Amino acid sequence: MTGSPASSPTRFGNTRTLLFAALYAGLAAVCYSTALIQPNTATVWVPSGFACGLLIAEGIERWRAVALGSLAFNLAINLEAVPDFGFAPAILVAIAVALGNIGESVSTAYFARRCARGVHFAEKLATTVIFTLVIAPLTPLISVFLGVFASRIAGFPSSGTLSEVSLTWYIANYVGIIVFTGLTIKALKSVRQWPRLVRVGEALLLAICLGFAGQSLGGYFGNGWIFDWVQSYMIVPLLLWACFRFGATGGLFSLAFITVIAVFGTLRGFSAFPAPSPWRALIDLQIFLGMLSVTTLTLSAALHEIAAFRATLEERVRDRTAEIEGYMREREIFTTLVAHDLQSPLYGIRNAIRATRDDIDHHRIDQNELKQTLIVMDETCTALADRAKSLIAAADPHAAPAPRDLWGIVREIASLQGVQLGENARLRYQGPADLDIPNAADIELILATLIDNALCYSPEPTPVTVTAAVTDREISVSVADLGAGVPAEISAKLFYSAVRSGGANGGRAGIGLFLAAEKARRLNIKLGYGPNAPRGSVFTMRVPV
């Protein structure tokens, strides 16, 4: 019988748990060589950082891996290192130590996720300080209390006092957490990318320099005259190099590299910090490495925060610049469209003034005709003033555009163009009388251009018909005329460039349609063109609602 599909993730999770448990036990076995004061008290304890990083990166439910790995390793050490200790006490001490390791890693992961941004704790200065100076110093106390006191109560053999064992256990776990937690998170969560060759070369050069400088902590090259001047503090500039050039990842790897060199050098008998015993030398070395770790992590977080702030600031500047450029383009199109929209009425006023002046010069003026001309000019000027007022309101970026009815817009355009609007007039409207549309001022600019174009390119007295229809998602407006139409060779680029087409008034540049199309594209309005039957053109405008 085959298993259900839901069982596959469970099996995969169990396999990963066993893998992490084996890795925990393997790291513990490597660190076992530093247990100088008590068989189950290592001076260097990498599994603490591995367990905390694992639970932070993969979730607290991975505590089972920590429990299994810790219990298996401690039980094996208790039975092997102390054959006469007894099976029952060995199990009890192993369980107590495993519970301490579980409590330490779970509490570290919980507070890191809750108070220090979890896997991103090393990316901000504040969360790095919280992690290294608050969370990491407190959580090892759980492991120290359960492990040390369970060993003492069970009579576990030790060559040190209670305070010495407790201090060793605490320092080992604390340094392990602050050095190796970040590395574990990077290994489990970071995206694997091949670095550039220049960065690889620089990283190799940094590693070589760390190796040579690390001899001050490991003593691998002896004490010849060429190395007599090398001191432990000379590692600091290399850690700064790693932080500035490779970030938190470079700083953490450099710390781990130095830690390995220093610990194994101390186990070989070299003491970077002279002490009466190897145990004390390792303790002093761990304290030194702990201070370096806190400094390196804090500096890396500060640099990362500065870089992130700079990137955010640059992105905001780019967005703001693009917004300003778009606004300026919008203003330019708006200004040009307004000029195009108002030129016909202004030319009409000018022509009326010239004709009146010519009549006065030739004594052909009639009071009734003059009165009628002045009335027409007054109506045209009033329409122009109302038009300018609506355009100013449309140009205000803070003004919310109020919906207006389409019939009112067509009526205003007719008054501005100086044409009659009606069933049998030059300009005709077919559609609902109370059809409200959004962005009325902008749509009025576009519709005025379409109507002006139709009036210009169709002979009098052929009608220009504006038709409106409403669907669930859009308002469709068409402007149809009976003019000469648009030649096929320029219809495809009608809305994308200024073209010239012969019309009833001799033809002109088609910049009005181009500007109207630009305005429509910004408002997500679709403009279209098609031939009219039996002749002429039909321009359509689809407004989303």
pLDDT tens for 300-312 read 888 888 888 888 8
- In whole angstroms, what is the distance from residue 505 CA to residue 453 CA? 11
- In whole angstroms, what is the distance from residue 170 CA to residue 166 CA? 6
- Other C-beta atoms closer than 10 Å to the C-beta of 192 total 5
Average pLDDT over residues 403-419: 79
- Other C-beta atoms closer than 10 Å to the C-beta of 316 total 10
Q: What are phi and psi of 480, to 5 degrees?
A: -115, 140
Average pLDDT over residues 2-9: 50
pLDDT, tens digit, 9 for 90 and up, residues 500-529: 555 444 444 456 787 788 888 888 899 988
Beta strand ranges found along 387-545 (DSSP E):
404-405, 427-430, 436-437, 464-470, 474-480, 500-501, 508-509, 526-531, 537-544
Whether the predicted pLDDT of 170 surpasses 90 = yes
Whether the predicted pLDDT of 120 surpasses 50 = yes
pLDDT, tens digit, 9 for 90 and up, residues 61-79: 999 999 999 999 988 888 8
pLDDT, tens digit, 9 for 90 and up, residues 171-180: 999 999 998 9
Whether the predicted pLDDT of 169 surpasses 50 = yes
- In whole angstroms, what is the distance from residue 252 CA to residue 239 CA? 9
For the chain, percent of residues with pLDDT exceeding 90: 22
Whether the predicted pLDDT of 7 surpasses 60 = no
Average pLDDT over residues 181-202: 71
Q: Which of 514, 105, 110, 186 is nearest to 332 (CA)?
A: 514
For the domain 400-544, what is the CATH code?
A: 3.30.565.10
Which residue in the block uniquely carries the two structure tokens 């007039």?
425
- Within 8 A by CB and 6+ apart from 527, the residues are 446, 495, 516, 517, 520, 539, 540, 541
Q: Where are the domains of the chain?
A: 1-192, 197-382, 400-544
Residue 144 CA to its chain's centroid (Å): 42
Check: CB of residue 356 under 8 Å from CB of residue 376: no
Average pLDDT, the chain: 80
- Within 8 A by CB and 6+ apart from 107, the residues are 139, 142
Following DSSP, what letter does each residue of 230-245 receive, concatenated?
Answer: --GGGHHHHHHHHHHH
Check: CB of residue 38 under 8 Å from CB of residue 151: yes
Which pLDDT score is estimated for 228?
Answer: 54
With 0.75 as the threshold, say if the pTM is over it. no
CATH architecture of residue range(s) 1-192: Orthogonal Bundle (1.10)
- Within 8 A by CB and 6+ apart from 425, the residues are 419, 463
Residue 20 burial by Cβ neighbours in a 10 Å radius (0-12, 13-18, 19+): buried
Whether the predicted pLDDT of 194 surpasses 60 = no
pLDDT, tens digit, 9 for 90 and up, residues 233-291: 778 888 888 888 888 788 888 888 888 888 877 777 777 777 788 788 888 888 888 88
pLDDT, tens digit, 9 for 90 and up, residues 89-118: 888 889 999 999 999 999 999 999 999 999
